[in-house]
Amino acid sequence: MKTFAELGLPEKILATVEKIGYKEPTPIQEQAIPVAISGRDVIGAAQTGTGKTAAYALPILVRLGEPQKHPRCLVLVPTRELAMQVEEAFSRFAENAQERFALLYGGVRYEQQLHALRAGAEIVVATPGRLIDLWEQRFVDLSHIEVLVLDEVDRMLDMGFIEDVSRIIRMCPRQRQTLLFSATVNKTIREIADWALRDPVEIDVRTGTLAAETISHAIYPVAGYQKYDLLVALLARTQYKSVIVFTRTKRDADRITEWLEANKIPVATLHADRTQRERTAALQGFRDGKFNVLVATDIASRGLDISGVSHVINYNVPEHPEDYVHRIGRTGRAGDEGQAFTLFSPDELSQLQAIERLLKMPIERKKLDGFNYRTEPLMTIPGAATTKKKRRNR
Ligand code: AMP
């Protein structure tokens, strides 16, 4: 394992890194920093929580050198929350960050963003929609971009941003450095990399197991109509520091919020139909510990780095197995212990089997002691892993 000093970072940045408290580089940092400092393009296959923000932020600061008064670096991210998080993390490494950064995302007024651009922001962190909007109105000039970062590309594609992302890439000069990060690298992402990147170095720090080993998983089978009750009972029985309850729909998130509030459990709520002000307040309140429970849709399942989340509860089995991995990745971060509970009703069997197939392990079924099950829960439904075994034995 190398030290930060051995990665080619200058003294000033080393001092900042030390001040922040990073002792040694994470694997993605160890591999990406020297390559990015050399000016090469990078495809980084890295899950969230691996330290990838610093893996691109530090070399970018080295490459930009003396500040100039126009956009030279663009970091494109899928969601507003992630944009805020990246800007906050990135700017911690920079001097005079106040003047150097512009944070551009939708759902809020233009004034502050225009002010940052007019003041000569050099590093632009943006979501695709608002960036294109501002570019079309000629408020942002991308013609001097030297480094383009495409962060959480798989998520941007999942959210239907492929056209926007391609358009933004074309708005930037051809002569540039491009750093692409994604938790998964599928065919579409390779196609983008093929035309948008030049002779990239590929770095893959994904571990064999998709879910952190510090997370323990449990499935709570229950009839659909008793899910609310079981959720409240589970929260009452669980010693949590803070917990995120994930729902599939915005409606469910709102209903659960009302239900928990009626049960005197204060909660913060995060989904796409809330105003940006509400979303920011919810996340801030949860981060600050004002609320110990956050009810959220998958908008919060990727990338968000909130320390001390001891539990994730899936109110529904997520529809896409990857979402399970992303959701539970909000807990068990940085070596902490985490627990992931999933409420499962019989109509969700195929989704559950898909998750077990992806994780390559069956998840333990549990019954909540003392809970008044009106219908006997289906404890013995075989998971995908066990189903396979059975077939072979036949
Ligand atoms: P990221 O994957 O960039 O969202 O980073 C995940 C978390 O790891 C953040 O809270 C970072 O502050 C933290 N982190 C990043 N690099 C290091 C490091 N080298 N040592 C300790 N913590 C780190």
Instruction: Give per-residue pLDDT as tens, 232-254.
Output: 999 999 998 899 999 999 999 99
SS3 at position 175: coil
Which runs of E-coded beta strand occur in the chain? 42-45, 73-76, 101-104, 123-126, 147-150, 177-182, 201-204, 215-221, 243-246, 267-270, 293-296, 311-314, 338-344
For ligand 1, the distance from its centroid to the CA atom of residue 183, given in whole angstroms, is: 16
Number of the ligand 1 atom closest to the C-alpha atom of 52: 3
* Protein residue with least CA distance to atom 1, ligand 1: 51
The verdict on the CB of residue 27 being under 6 Å from ligand 1 is: no
What's phi and psi for 56, nearest 5 deg?
Answer: -100, -30
For ligand 1, the distance from its centroid to the CA atom of residue 182, given in whole angstroms, is: 16
Q: What is the pTM of this model?
A: 0.70
**Per-position pLDDT tens, the chain of length 394:** 889 999 999 999 999 999 999 999 998 999 999 999 999 999 999 877 788 999 999 999 999 999 999 999 999 999 999 999 999 999 999 988 888 999 999 999 999 999 999 999 999 999 999 999 999 999 999 999 999 999 999 889 988 899 999 999 999 999 999 999 998 888 899 999 999 999 999 998 865 555 666 788 999 999 999 999 999 999 999 998 899 999 999 999 999 999 999 989 999 999 988 888 898 899 999 999 999 999 999 877 776 777 778 899 999 999 888 889 888 878 766 556 789 999 999 999 999 999 998 888 889 999 999 999 998 888 875 544 444 444 444 3
Q: How many CB atoms lie within 10 A of CB 359?
A: 20
Rounded distance, CA 136 to CA 302, Å?
29
User: Nearest Cα to 103, choosing from 127, 73, 129, 119?
Assistant: 127
Asked whether 32 and 8 are in contact (CB, 8 A), the reply is no
pLDDT of residue 216: 86
Q: Burial, 139: exposed, middle or buried (Cβ in 10 Å; 0-12, 13-18, 19+)?
A: middle
The verdict on the CB of residue 47 being under 6 Å from ligand 1 is: no
The verdict on the CB of residue 53 being under 6 Å from ligand 1 is: yes
User: Nearest Cα to 98, choosing from 120, 76, 82, 81?
Assistant: 120
pLDDT of residue 212: 63
Mutate to test the pocket of ligand 1, among 53, 75, 155 (most ligand atoms within 8 A of CB): 53
For ligand 1, the distance from its centroid to the CA atom of residue 49, given in whole angstroms, is: 6
The verdict on the CB of residue 329 being under 6 Å from ligand 1 is: no
Question: What does DSSP assign to residue 127?
Answer: -
For ligand 1, the distance from its centroid to the CA atom of residue 35, given in whole angstroms, is: 19
Q: Report CA Rg, the chain.
A: 22
For ligand 1, the distance from its centroid to the CA atom of residue 26, given in whole angstroms, is: 8
For ligand 1, the distance from its centroid to the CA atom of residue 53, given in whole angstroms, is: 7
For ligand 1, the distance from its centroid to the CA atom of residue 272, given in whole angstroms, is: 26
| pLDDT tens digit sequence for 333-373 | 655 678 999 999 999 999 999 999 888 888 999 999 999 99
The verdict on the CB of residue 305 being under 6 Å from ligand 1 is: yes
The verdict on the CB of residue 113 being under 6 Å from ligand 1 is: no
The verdict on the CB of residue 362 being under 6 Å from ligand 1 is: no
Rounded distance, CA 117 to CA 104, Å?
9
Rounded distance, CA 169 to CA 185, Å?
18
242 token code pair: 């803070």
The verdict on the CB of residue 197 being under 6 Å from ligand 1 is: no
Residue type at position 370:
G
Asked whether 121 and 101 are in contact (CB, 8 A), the reply is yes
Question: What does DSSP assign to residue 333?
Answer: G
What DSSP string runs through 197-214? SSSPEEEE---SSSS-TT
